[in-house]
Amino acid sequence: MGQGQRGERGGTATAWPDAGPWHEIANVDEVASPALAFYPDRIEENIRRMIRIAGRAERLRPHVKTHKCAEIVRLQLAQGIRAFKCSTIAEAEMAAAAGAPDVLLAMQPVGPAIGRFLALQREYPATAFGAIADAERVIAEIGRAASEAGTVARLWLDVNSGMNRTGIAPGAEAARLYGLIHAAPGLRAGGLHVYDGHIHEPDPAARAARCDAEFAPVARLIDALAADGLPVPAVVAGGSPTFPIHAKRAGVELSPGTPLLWDAGYGRAYPDLDFLVSAVLVSRVVSKPAGRLVCLDLGTKAVASEMPQPRAVLLGIGEHRVAAHNEEHLVIEVPDPDRYQPGGVVYAVPIHICPTVARYETAHVVRNGRRAGEWTIAARNRRITI
């Protein structure tokens, strides 16, 4: 067990229904494990499916936090998507450098992030940047900094529709803050940002009912702002589970992220969302320490560890139990240990792809069943140049 790393045991895992042979890499000997692999043909198909749900590409503002990769931004640009959402300054810079015309920072900039946000506008003038805010003090600070810099910053009011992570509840105070954004020198009101990532109902009807109920106060806020003569140029709403529901609302931009790569967690939770897993992990057996135990090099440094066990679906491996999960090692107990020998390749689909991608500097690109190069996960870092 690695120093400072607590061993973790977990539940029993079963096979993933989307296994098939699509993920296998003929020249896998060129891939040092653990590794992340992207499948561009499947990513492009997921983009097409997102557009079909949205109705047209212009309604989409996909989140880049899932992939953090310029090449995937360019795949979306090629299909007509022009607006993107991000969580960090580095993600915003990556998207702009890839040619994104419109980037929204969905994290209220505070402290040094305010200066970095304005620096993005100076360094990438071809990109229209925006940010979210939910506090009067921050709104004033951004407005003052933008005026001093001789520029104008676009701000969306971040609305809390029930997730209780960021934002302000729709109502009179939200309307007042939006009015401050609209009137402040150095600021331009971009609209409302409404993220409902807390809506997890597996049943589509129940999910839609809850989404509609929690959006109703937001709709009333929009009407109140209009009555006060305050324009709301855009409403950015929803996450991956709810964007098909918000797609039915006129004038709403949609911001899914996970559907670009998909994962086992969403695939099992939302079978109504028809997307393809297009990223897998490449692992190898490194030891068979005792009895029915098999050790893989798929430790917590290789797969997101915030989820309960199992944290990845091991393709081609049937029922098994996670015996331990440490920094470099994943130990599983299997009924048929003779099937596995040191050096054997095991592919895995993460339960949560977004933080898993952030563990890798590059992803191997697989085309026609062969490794064909690498893409840099440029925005995994907190800073690129700004």
Percent of the chain with pLDDT over 70: 95
- Among 261, 296, 314, the domain-final residue is 261
> Has residue 174 got a pLDDT over 90?
yes
Q: How far is CA 47 from the centre of its chain?
A: 14
Residue 240 and residue 373 share a domain: no
Residue 327 lies in a domain: yes
Residue 285 and residue 179 share a domain: no
Q: Which parts of the chain are beta strand (E)? A: 12-13, 35-38, 83-86, 102-105, 128-133, 153-159, 187-194, 234-237, 252-254, 279-287, 293-296, 312-315, 320-325, 330-333, 345-350, 362-367, 370-376
- Among 207, 233, 261, the domain-final residue is 261
Mean pLDDT calculated for residue range 197-201: 96
CATH number at residue 330: 2.40.37.20
Residue 292 lies in a domain: yes
Identify the residue whose tokens are 């959006």. Answer: 215
Residue 266 lies in a domain: no
DSSP for 223-253, please give it: HHHHHTT----EEEE--TTTHHHHTTSTTEE
Residue 256 and residue 328 share a domain: no
pTM score, whole prediction: 0.95
Residue 227 and residue 106 share a domain: yes
- Per-chain mean pLDDT for the chain: 95
> Has residue 8 got a pLDDT over 80?
no
**pLDDT at site 318:** 86
Residue 124 and residue 236 share a domain: yes
Residue 135 and residue 231 share a domain: yes
Instruction: Output 185 or 9, whichever has higher pLDDT.
Output: 185
The predicted-structure confidence for 324-382, as pLDDT tens digits, reads as follows: 999 999 999 999 999 999 999 999 999 999 999 999 999 999 999 999 999 999 999 99
Residue 309 lies in a domain: yes
Mean pLDDT calculated for residue range 278-296: 97
Residues of 137-160 as b/e, b for ≥16 C-beta within 10 angstroms?
ebbebbbebbeeeeeebbbbbbbb
Q: Is 35 exposed, middle or buried (0-12, 13-18, 19+ CB in 10 A)?
A: buried
The predicted-structure confidence for 85-120, as pLDDT tens digits, reads as follows: 999 999 999 999 999 999 999 999 999 999 999 999
- Among 261, 290, 324, the domain-final residue is 261
**What does each C-alpha distance from 237 to 11, 91, 108 come to in angstroms?**
35, 19, 16
pLDDT band at 9 (very low <50, low <70, confident <90, very high): low
Residue 386 lies in a domain: no
Identify the residue whose tokens are 């993460």. Answer: 350
Q: Is the dihedral of CA 190, 273, 302, 281 positive or negative?
A: negative
Residue 318 and residue 203 share a domain: no
pLDDT band at 5 (very low <50, low <70, confident <90, very high): very low
Residue 50 and residue 26 share a domain: no
Residue 115 and residue 48 share a domain: yes
**pLDDT at site 307:** 86
The parent domain of residue 290 ranges over 12-38+278-380
**pLDDT at site 7:** 42
Total tally of structural domains belonging to the chain? 2
pLDDT band at 306 (very low <50, low <70, confident <90, very high): confident
Residue 4 lies in a domain: no
Helix (H, G, I), strand (E, B) or coil at 185: coil
Residue 286 and residue 152 share a domain: no
The predicted-structure confidence for 25-83, as pLDDT tens digits, reads as follows: 999 999 999 999 999 999 999 999 999 999 999 999 999 999 999 999 999 999 999 99
Residue 239 and residue 303 share a domain: no
Q: Cβ(349)–Cβ(24) under 8 Å?
A: no
> Has residue 13 got a pLDDT over 80?
no
Q: Pick from 203, 194, 254, 238: which is nearest to 52 by CA?
A: 254
CATH number at residue 103: 3.20.20.10
pLDDT band at 11 (very low <50, low <70, confident <90, very high): low
Residue 44 and residue 32 share a domain: no
